Amino acid sequence: MPDMIVNGIRIDESFAEAFDMRATALVITADTEAWAETAAASLTGFATSIIACGVEAGIDARLAPPETPDGRPGVRVLLFAGSTGELQKQLQNRVGQCVLTSPGSACYAGLEGVETLKLGDALRYFADGFQISKRFGGRHFWRLPVMDGEFVCEGTTGLTKSAVGGGNLLLMGRSIAATRHAAETAVAAMAKIDGAIMPFPGGIVRSGSKVGSKYKGLIASTNHAYCPTLRGLTMSALEEDIASVLEIVIDGLTPEAVAAAMRAGLASAIALGPEVGVVRIGAGNYGGKLGKHHFHLKDLLP
């Protein structure tokens, strides 16, 4: 099955199949780096998969004070959903419950777009008539009096309909520890790519899923072909030297961002070599008929 061997690691002749998604970006600032991070972590919590969370969200970048609209430390977060309506709903709920509530926070558009989603335009009503609208420098802000001062929030943020969700890498190793080490190394490299996030815990999924289930009402179930403990019992995709598989899922604002993240992850996992890291790298797809975007591993190798 392995068609290529790079630095002693078997690379599948396979591709990641990814889908069009709706996405937006926010810049969250606070008085300190730690509080910007806390607000962003809260906003992007429980946002691993649209299967049950509504959105997939994550931290894209940490911004130094000169890079943010108000000159304070900030964090850029990305949010992805299957529909504009769901993205709007999640944006409003999450900013309202996680950013508005966080001490000293402010929230700005992180993306310019012809189409927009409501941000402060929806949250302003919290101020019960004491909200203040300010439009200058080509931007529109809402000021909401809150108990620690004011929550400043941009009126709208941009929406993109050409975002991509579902880029992925499957890292297969001889031990749980070696596989985890390779996945952590890959995620660290991929996190540096702007415009892409890895929405799962620490960027890593250990329970990759297939479409469908033997049980009615379940739309996804364990990817049995990649479960090492089922090798021999079912149709397995794993050879005998593989004891653990971890997946990294990537969502990007553009196909190029997803490809760049996959390229960075492949390069850093391959650089570890088969003794320290993984022995095989693959990618998940559905035969190529469901998703518009195909990211072939052979095109992304270092």
Partner 1 sequence: MSALCFQLRQSPPQRLDCSPLTPERLRGLGLADITRLPLQTTRAAVAVGDLFTVTAGDPANIVIAGGSPRLDDIGAGMTMGSITVEGSVGIRAGAGMRGGRLSVTGEAGPYAASGMLGGAIEIGGNAGDFLGAPGIGAGMAGGMVVVRGSAGARAGDRLRRGVIVIEGDSGDYPASRMIAGTLVICGRAGAAPGYLMRRGTLFAESAAPLPTFLATGAADHVFRALLARALAPASSRAASLVARSGLARFGGDVAGLGKGELLIATTV
State the amino acid at position 263 in one-letter form. Answer: R
Residue 225: CB partners within 8 Å, gap ≥ 6? Answer: 210, 234, 235, 236, 237, 238
Whole-Å CA distances, 104 to 32, 70, 126, 209, 239: 9, 12, 16, 39, 53
Nearest alpha-carbon partner for 164 in 296, 292, 287, 299: 292
Q: Residue 151 Cβ, how far from partner 1 at the closest point, in Å?
A: 8
Q: Residue 104 Cβ, how far from partner 1 at the closest point, in Å?
A: 8
47 versus 144: smaller Cβ distance to partner 1: 144
Q: Residue 34 Cβ, how far from partner 1 at the closest point, in Å?
A: 17
97 versus 133: smaller Cβ distance to partner 1: 133
135 versus 289: smaller Cβ distance to partner 1: 135
124 versus 231: smaller Cβ distance to partner 1: 124
**Euclidean distance between CA atoms 8 and 201, whole angstroms:** 29
Q: Residue 113 Cβ, how far from partner 1 at the closest point, in Å?
A: 21
29 versus 268: smaller Cβ distance to partner 1: 29
State residue 199 phi and psi, 5-degree precision: -75, -15
135 versus 214: smaller Cβ distance to partner 1: 135
Catalogue the long-range contacts made by 59-65 (C-beta closer than 8 Å, 24 or more residues apart). 59/197, 60/25, 60/110, 60/194, 60/195, 60/196, 60/197, 61/194, 62/33, 62/37, 63/27, 63/29
Q: Residue 150 Cβ, how far from partner 1 at the closest point, in Å?
A: 4
Structure tokens belonging to residue 241 = 């030297």
Q: Is the Cα torsion angle 187, 191, 195, 201 positive or negative in sign?
A: positive
Three-state DSSP state, 99: helix
Q: How far apart are the first and last CA of the chain?
A: 20
Q: Residue 143 Cβ, how far from partner 1 at the closest point, in Å?
A: 5
CA angle 197, 247, 269 (to 5 degrees): 85
**Euclidean distance between CA atoms 23 and 293, whole angstroms:** 16
86 versus 150: smaller Cβ distance to partner 1: 150
153 versus 243: smaller Cβ distance to partner 1: 153
State the amino acid at position 184 in one-letter form. Answer: E
Q: Which residues bind partner 1 (CB under 8 A)?
A: 29, 69-72, 106, 130, 132-137, 139, 141, 143, 149-150, 152
- Residue 144, strand partner residues: 151
